[in-house]
Amino acid sequence: MRYDLVIVGAGMAGLTVGIETLKKHPDCKVLIVEKYDYVGGRVYTHHQGRLHWESGAGRIGDDHVLVHELIKQYGLKTYPIGTSDGSLYIRDGLAQPNPFTDLLATMILPLAELPPSVLATHTLAELLSMVHGQKGVEYYNMFPYWSEIHTLRADLAIHSFQTEFGSKATYSVVAEGFSKIPEGMAEDFKRLGGKIQFKTDVSRLEKDREGLSVCSDRPDILCRACVLAIPSVAVKKIGGLQAIPALRHLAMEPLVRMYAVFKDKEWLKDLTKIVSDSRVRYTIPISAEKGVVMISYTDGADAAYWIKFRKEKGEDAVKEAVMKGIRRLLPDKDIGEPTEFVIHPWSNGCTYWLPGSYDPVAVLKDSLCQDHGIFVCGESFSMRQAWTEGALESAHMLLDLCEFKKQITAMK
């Protein structure tokens, strides 16, 4: 049997392409192959007894229209979590209200006036150091995330501080768990006639007379067209592909969320978000009532430290180090031992456009469609990276692509 379309990756981008293709072309034979045993990719809600929390993607911008459309479609509820503001910043043991957002207008946003060639070829960390010296370094350390400062090219980073990380940006989370969205999408996809094959690690695409052969650790799958709806790091590992322009301009950074559950909840009652200069880095209270706190949230080099630490010393050692760190940050609080401590490491958490003399919008357009009916999409291949909305935008960009429409129409 030869499928009309095989989609590699059962994340929200891949599911979107599958659903929309079958809506317009119900006779198409569409298969999604997925490396793991669940749908959603980096959207994964962890269940711990009667508790649940997000191990990967979490918050949703209130202006993320595509995600909110899906929330409404599947009858889900959200609850607001406010803005990025309102945290405490602790440096060298001294605590103060975090002034990062208040200083955006004087420290980061004016950098937009620098020549475009300078913004394209530097990171914010480099520019803040060049313009403000040590003051700039001290300033960017108040921001909890590493990659937007040290990895992403500065012009796009500044744009993110004008939008998602701006002073007026507000967020919410899915009350029932973010995974409910891809789970609902998977049911819709199957109801429309699509099939999903789990535990299939694609390693190579080979061209034949009628299309493609998708090679994996299972029997080869024949198809007429293939969409790679997977992160850039995974795309790079697939053999048989021609050079995809975007890949040399993309980097993925690790991400680690650590959650702790406490029986003694007293210390959590007035806890606010904390950004610190310690290895704990970012602490976010989740529910004082349930005793849940995201006790450490890191990305980039900060996350790489914990991934290496865990590999070398084990999870108990990570727990001990983090608990020691949080007690040092909050010496006036009586913090007991957690009843649960869960580490969620992602070696490839989010994707970022690297500094360089290129136009990311043009490179993206040149990358979505390859020869011989091969296409790519997803969070990595978007202009809103590190957000689920970006994955959905990329999927819709692919669906609107003339080459993709022609490929699917020719199968009828």
Q: Is the pLDDT of residue 412 over 70?
A: no
Tokens 């569409």 appear where? Answer: 30
- Which residue in 381, 22, 14 sits closest to 182, CA to CA? 14
Tokens at 168, concatenated = 């007026």
Computed over every residue of the chain, the mean pLDDT equals: 97
Q: Are 144 and 59 in contact (CB under 8 A)?
A: no
Pairing assessment for the beta strands 250-261 and 340-353 based on DSSP bridges: antiparallel
What is the identity of the amino acid at 70?
L
Note if the pTM is more than 0.85: yes
- Asked if the model's pLDDT at residue 286 lies above 90, the reply is yes
- Give 222-246 pLDDT, tens digit per residue: 999 999 999 999 999 999 998 999 9
> Is residue 411 predicted with pLDDT exceeding 80?
no
Instruction: Name the CATH architecture for the domain at 2-44+178-242+370-409.
Output: 3-Layer(bba) Sandwich (3.50)
pLDDT reported for residue 195: 99
Residue for token digits 């406490």?
262
Strand partners, 285: 293
Q: Which residues are 255's β-sheet partners?
A: 299, 346
What is the residue extent of each domain of the chain? 2-44+178-242+370-409
Query: What's the confidence (pLDDT) of residue 410?
Result: 82
**Which of the residue ranges 237-246, 373-382, 402-411 would you say has the lowest mean pLDDT?**
402-411
**What is the reported pLDDT for 242?**
87
Write down the pLDDT at residue 137.
Answer: 98
224 residue type, one letter: R
Alpha-carbon span 276 to 95, nearest angstrom: 9
Q: If you average pLDDT over residues 61-89, what whole number do you get? A: 94
Span 211-216, mean pLDDT?
Answer: 96
Strand duo 195-197 + 78-82: pairing: unpaired
Mean pLDDT confidence for 5-9: 99
Lowest mean pLDDT segment, chosen from 52-56, 378-382, 407-411: 407-411
**86 has pLDDT over 70:** yes
Contact indicator for 48, 290 with CB cutoff of 8 Å: no
Query: How much of the chain, in percent, has pLDDT values that exceed 90?
Result: 94
Residue 127 has pLDDT above 80, yes or no: yes
Kindly report the three-state secondary structure assignment for every residue of the chain: CEEEEEEECCCHHHHHHHHHHHHHCCCCCEEEECCCCCCCCCCCEEEECCEEEECCCCCEECCCHHHHHHHHHCCCCEEEEECCCCCEEEECCEEEECCCHHHHHHHCHHHHHCCHHHHHCCEHHHHHHHHHCHHHHHHHCCCCCCHHHHCCEHHHHHHHHHCCCCCCCCEEEECCCCCHHHHHHHHHHHHCCCEEECCCCCCEEEEECCEEEEECCCCCEEEEEEEECCCHHHHHCCECCCCCHHHHHEEEEEEEEEEEECCCCHHHCCCCCEEECCCCCEEEEEECCCCEEEEEEEEHHHHHHHHHHHHHHCHHHHHHHHHHHHHHHCCCCCCCCCCEEEEEEEEEEEEEECCCCCCHHHHHHHHCECHHHEEECCHHHCCCCCCHHHHHHHHHHHHCCHHHHHHHHCCC
Which residue type, as a one-letter code, is found at position 85? D
In angstroms, the Cα distances linking 72 to 14, 65, 77, 83, 183 are 20, 10, 8, 22, 14
Query: Per residue in 159-169, pLDDT tens?
Result: 999 999 987 88
Closest CA to 299 of 48, 58, 111, 25: 58
pLDDT at 209: 87
- The share of the chain scoring above pLDDT 70, in percent, equals 100
The predicted structure's pLDDT at residue 145: 97
Q: Find the mean pLDDT for residues 239-256.
A: 96
pLDDT tens string 315-352: 999 999 999 999 999 999 999 999 999 999 999 999 99
